[in-house]
Amino acid sequence: MNSGTTPAIFIRGIGAAVLGLALVTAPLSAQQMPQQQQQQMPPEVQEMVEEFQEKQQRLQALSQQALSENPELMEAQVALEEKVEEAMRAIEPETDQLIERLQAMQAEAQAAQEAEDMERLQGLMTEAQSMNQRLQVAQTQALEQDEIQQAIEEFQDDMMDEMLAIDPEAEELQERVEELGAQLQAAGPPM
């Protein structure tokens, strides 16, 4: 799995906080947008999207199974996440405070939405975007560090070994997902 891509395992706290805030504040029309975009795609691109999503789901299920069947791999994932978080804190000393604030903002956004206080909701979204940008910069810089990249590659290799033990086609599946991802990226707007 030495593809040069970063696995989507990093920074659960950041991802959960930002995703939670986005879900609370997303209007219905924005939630329908991906489906509308998909309907406007040429049929061959739509087929690629569907294949990509199906294969990506299979890969995700395989990785979850590999983690659940191998406690050492799960420990390695946690250790890797902690290493990335530690590097982020060195880059952005307020990482923990930013994550905590993002998590607290979820309830505030929910309350603002229920009260139909769009001004407050917009203010929260602006604040969240700013904090998320700071966290993304720190995460990107952390992931560029040689030590982190080496740890990621080792984890990816171990993960792929476990996935191959479960499904001998896992590597081919991963390669196809990467190929489809590159084709879709070249085809136009994000999914």
Average pLDDT, stretch 2-17?
43
142-155 residue pLDDT tens = 999 999 999 999 99
Euclidean distance between CA atoms 5 and 154, whole angstroms: 13
**Nearest to 99, CA basis, from 10, 9, 11:** 11
- Please indicate, yes or no, whether the overall pTM of this predicted structure exceeds 0.95: no
Confidence of residue 186 (pLDDT cuts 50, 70, 90): confident
Confidence of residue 189 (pLDDT cuts 50, 70, 90): low
45-104 residue pLDDT tens = 899 999 999 999 999 999 999 999 999 999 999 999 999 999 999 999 999 999 999 999
- Residue entry with tokens 């504040």: 25
**Nearest to 129, CA basis, from 25, 12, 10:** 25
Confidence of residue 42 (pLDDT cuts 50, 70, 90): confident
Average pLDDT, stretch 112-118?
92
The answer to whether residues 21 and 128 touch, using CB atoms and an 8 Å cutoff, is yes
The answer to whether residues 128 and 105 touch, using CB atoms and an 8 Å cutoff, is yes
Residue 94 DSSP class:
T
Six-digit token string for 33: 């947008």
Confidence of residue 22 (pLDDT cuts 50, 70, 90): very low
SS3 189: coil
Residue spans of the domains in the chain: they are 12-38+45-185
The answer to whether residues 148 and 142 touch, using CB atoms and an 8 Å cutoff, is yes
